[in-house]
């Protein structure tokens, strides 16, 4: 039975999609069966995993949500794309934008995606959900379906301030929607330790949250190679296997696999 992770932050540009793709590939390299679900209407994860024409997909995350809303039977395996690096993907496209309106009038609208996840999770060791850079209904659905939230944060002032709001939202979801949800950890991304500001913000985050929330030991460094990898459809492990970003995500994978953090192992 898979552990389900929502990779989430209300702030855009913090590397959520890249983290899902990299962590998924990292877990697959460790022999784990992994499904990545694109629940972001920008479908960046789908594109970065090599789907060139997402608008032509017959089945996507929005299709699954629509079928559940309309009480149509679903095949949980249908529409899953098998990436060459051993990771599976439930893709998304722009039609996911319309799901916000479809969900808005529903009773139990926050738990629609959880119905799909409950059907698919017995087939995997880990399910990773990419979320929108907001706390909209799609993000709520992801967190309602998840066991743990992983929060990528860029060490910048506004990103650190936004973290407080996100944690309050997660606390409300734990109280009212998903009492089993916990925070798997804060992941510092795009870190440039050459700047004093980055060092200061990292220290502030550690002092404010370190005793209550796991902060992953390995920071993901800022690198142009990460942005380049997204355009190739390859993971960072294939695109730049000897680079510092690949090393960071390899370490993150091992840390996540430790029983103390995730219980996957």
Task: Identify the pLDDT of residue 120.
Answer: 97
Query: Per the domain annotation, does 45 fall within a domain?
Result: yes
**Best CA proximity match to 1, nearest among 213, 203, 262, 194:** 262
In a domain, 126, yes or no: yes
76 domain-assigned? yes
Provide the CATH number for the domain around residue 118.
Answer: 3.40.50.300
Q: What is the pLDDT of residue 258?
A: 85
Flag whether 264 is in a domain: no
List b or e across 210-248, with b for residues whose CB sees 16 or more CB atoms inside 10 angstroms. eeebbbbebbbbbbeebeebbeebbbbbebbeebebbbb
Domain membership of residue 263 (yes or no) is: no
φ/ψ of residue 101, rounded to 5: -70, -40
* Domain range enclosing 12: 3-257
Structure tokens at 210: 């370190």
Residue 136 forms beta bridges with which residues?
none
Residue at 74 is within a domain: yes
Assess if residue 214 is contained within a domain: yes
Q: Is position 262 within any domain? A: no
What is the model's pLDDT at position 262?
Answer: 53
pLDDT of residue 259: 59
The vertex-18 CA angle with 22 and 36, nearest 5°, equals 65
pLDDT value, residue 100:
85
Count of domains in the chain? Answer: 1
Q: Which residues of the chain have pLDDT under 50?
A: 260, 265
Global pTM reads 0.95
User: Please, is 109 exposed, middle or buried when counting C-beta atoms within 10 Å of its C-beta (0-12, 13-18, 19+)?
Assistant: middle
Contact of 3 with 262, CB cutoff 8 Å:
yes
- Kindly state the DSSP code that residue 134 receives in the 8-state scheme: S
């Amino acid at each position: 039975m898979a552990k389900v992770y929502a990779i989430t932050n209300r702030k855009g540009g913090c590397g959520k999609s890249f983290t899902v793709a990299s962590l998924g590939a990292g877990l697959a390299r460790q022999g784990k069966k992994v499904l990545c679900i694109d629940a972001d209407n920008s479908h960046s994860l789908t594109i970065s995993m090599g789907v060139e024409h997402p608008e032509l997909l017959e089945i996507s995350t929005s299709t699954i949500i629509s079928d559940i809303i309309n009480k149509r039977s679903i095949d949980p395996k249908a529409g899953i794309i098998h990436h060459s690096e051993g990771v599976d993907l439930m893709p998304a496209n722009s039609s996911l934008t319309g799901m916000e309106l479809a969900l808005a009038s529903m009773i139990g609208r926050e738990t629609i995606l959880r119905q799909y996840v409950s059907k698919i999770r017995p087939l995997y060791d880990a399910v990773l959900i990419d979320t929108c850079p907001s706390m909209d209904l799609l993000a709520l659905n992801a967190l309602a379906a998840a066991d743990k939230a992983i929060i990528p944060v860029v060490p910048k002032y506004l990103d650190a301030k936004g973290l407080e709001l996100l944690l309050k939202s997660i606390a409300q979801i734990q109280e009212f929607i998903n009492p089993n949800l916990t925070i798997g950890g804060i992941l510092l991304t795009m870190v440039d330790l050459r700047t004093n500001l980055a060092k200061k913000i990292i220290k502030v985050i550690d002092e404010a949250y370190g005793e209550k929330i796991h902060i992953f030991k390995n920071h993901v460094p800022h690198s142009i190679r990460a942005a380049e990898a997204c355009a190739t459809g390859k993971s960072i492990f294939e695109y730049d296997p000897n680079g510092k970003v690949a090393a960071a995500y390899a370490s993150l994978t091992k840390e996540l696999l430790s029983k103390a953090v995730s219980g996957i192992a």
